[in-house]
Chain A
Amino acid sequence: MFDTYLTILKRDLLLAMRRRSDIFTTLFFFVIVVSLFPLGIGPELDTLRLIAPGVVWVAALLASMLALERLFAVDFADGTLEQMLLAPQPMAVLVLGKVTAHWLITGLPLVLMAPLLGIQYDLSLTALKVLLISLLLGTPALSLIGAIGAALTLGLRGGGVLVSLLVLPLCIPVLIFGAGAVEASVSGLGEAGHLYMLSAIVVMALFLAPLATSAALRVSAE
């Protein structure tokens, strides 16, 4: 079972390496959106510090939506999704492999870039650290929850917009606790509570989302 997980993971990473544009689209989108705010609002450090967590988190949320549509669409078009559904392994394991690859390709670069962008907002070192940790916990949850939406809208026309409409409301808790962690750390309340909640959300998503996604894929692939 673990072998199949690794097979899918390696395959998707290899495919991403051969088609690098996908990785950079999400990352550049994130970088540009986050950089536009200081330019638009002006160089008032107090305001920037205040809005930083929210802006970075919303940008991360939107960037992760951007890549979702392609998560299963390519596999669906070339018939490999059918073959995955017929593989003698639980589909949830394969889904988990795909989502892991998706996160490594689109989520992780974004997490690593975030502290650098945080400097534009004059965030302190501690705040940057909390931002990094909250994104590291939160973005896998975004990928996992997003996968459900991507599976449900597979093969529909205009699926891209629909995915966002379906998934964004579900991501609100992640956003609240992710951005909240940084705010709490800045205001001196302590970020621990928020990070624990984020961890709980990830664990739950890790367990439930692959099951929901594979059920949705079975319906969509009919």
Chain B
Amino acid sequence: MLQVVDLECVRGDRKLFSGLNFELHPGELLHLYGHNGSGKTTLMRAICGLLRETEGEVRWNGEAIRKQAEDFTRHVVYLGHKNGIKDDLNGVENLRVACALDGVPISEERAWTALEKIGLRGHEDLPTRVLSQGQKRRVGLARLLAHDAKLWVLDEPFTALDKAAVGFLQTVIREHIDGGGMVILTTHQEVTLTEGQVKRLQLGWKEEGRV
């Protein structure tokens, strides 16, 4: 279970949010929304531990993530604006390196299968520098298929993806939640995933109002 307690984050001299509290249980999806610059990415990075919070803390299973360090990060996959892939490596190499670093090494066949599933058949052995924006995104997203982490933190996962890929990614996220996983997500696109039974959290409405 993920708990955010009285969280406050300041970037430069701007306070993005303060006194933020919420909980996320297994099988739940949290949809973060708010206008550009309202602190969605900052909050996600703070939850992962990439960014140091000014006040409050993030707890994983009741204990602050700062104290758990590697015991926490092995349960998290974070996908940010940057894809986290190397331009000079091909899809298979990228995926295998990423998984090995995450502590879940995968075989070459498994990497091929994961990339094929995410729609990169025929492009697996090209250096990712020659791939299109959406294809690069897919290489980054392929990690989700090969990973067994509990908590997925996805910052705008649908950008640059085509309709089919958006649909597929939604199924993957849905399956993860049904299997007892947790997902925190931001998106500006209208996707069916964020309708219905999901937690929603709006950032940045206090001072500036809705956009």
Using CB atoms and an 8 Å cutoff, list the residues of chain A in contact with chain B: 3-4, 7-8, 11, 14-15, 18-19, 77-80, 82-90, 94, 221-222
Contact = CB atoms under 8 A, between A and B. Distances in A.
A87 B103 contact: yes
Contacts of A89: 70, 101, 103
A85 B76 CA distance: 12
B100 A88 contact: no
Contacts of A84: 101
Contact of B50 (A4, A7, A11, A222): A222
B80 interface: yes
Nearest to A12: B86
A87 B73 contact: yes
B101 A78 contact: no
9 contacts: A7-B100, A14-B89, A18-B88, A79-B83, A82-B78, A82-B82, A86-B73, A88-B74, A88-B102
Given A89-B101, A221-B50, A82 B84 contact: yes
B50 A86 contact: yes
Contact of A87 (B50, B89, B93, B101): B101
Contacts of A11: 86, 89, 93, 97
Given A79-B80, A80-B85, 5 more contacts: A78-B82, A79-B81, A87-B103, A88-B74, A90-B70
B98 interface: yes
Contacts of A85: 50
A88 B151 CA distance: 14
Contacts, number: 76
Contacts of B88: 15, 18-19
Given A18-B88, A82-B50, A222-B52, A88 B83 contact: no
B125 interface: no
B7 interface: no
A88 B50 contact: no
Interface residues of B, number: 31
| Residue from A4, A88, A222 with most neighbouring chain B CB atoms (10 Å) | A88
A79 B84 CA distance: 4
B89 A7 contact: no
A94 B103 CA distance: 13
A185 B46 CA distance: 55
A3 B105 contact: yes
| Residue from A15, A18, A86 with most neighbouring chain B CB atoms (10 Å) | A86
Nearest to A221: B50
Given A8-B101, A222-B52, A80 B84 contact: yes
B50 A80 contact: no
A78 B85 CA distance: 6
A7 B98 CA distance: 9
A114 B78 CA distance: 45
Contact of A88 (B70, B81, B87, B89): B70
A72 to B, nearest CB: 14
Nearest to A8: B101
A162 to B, nearest CB: 21
Given A86-B50, A222-B50, A78 B84 contact: yes
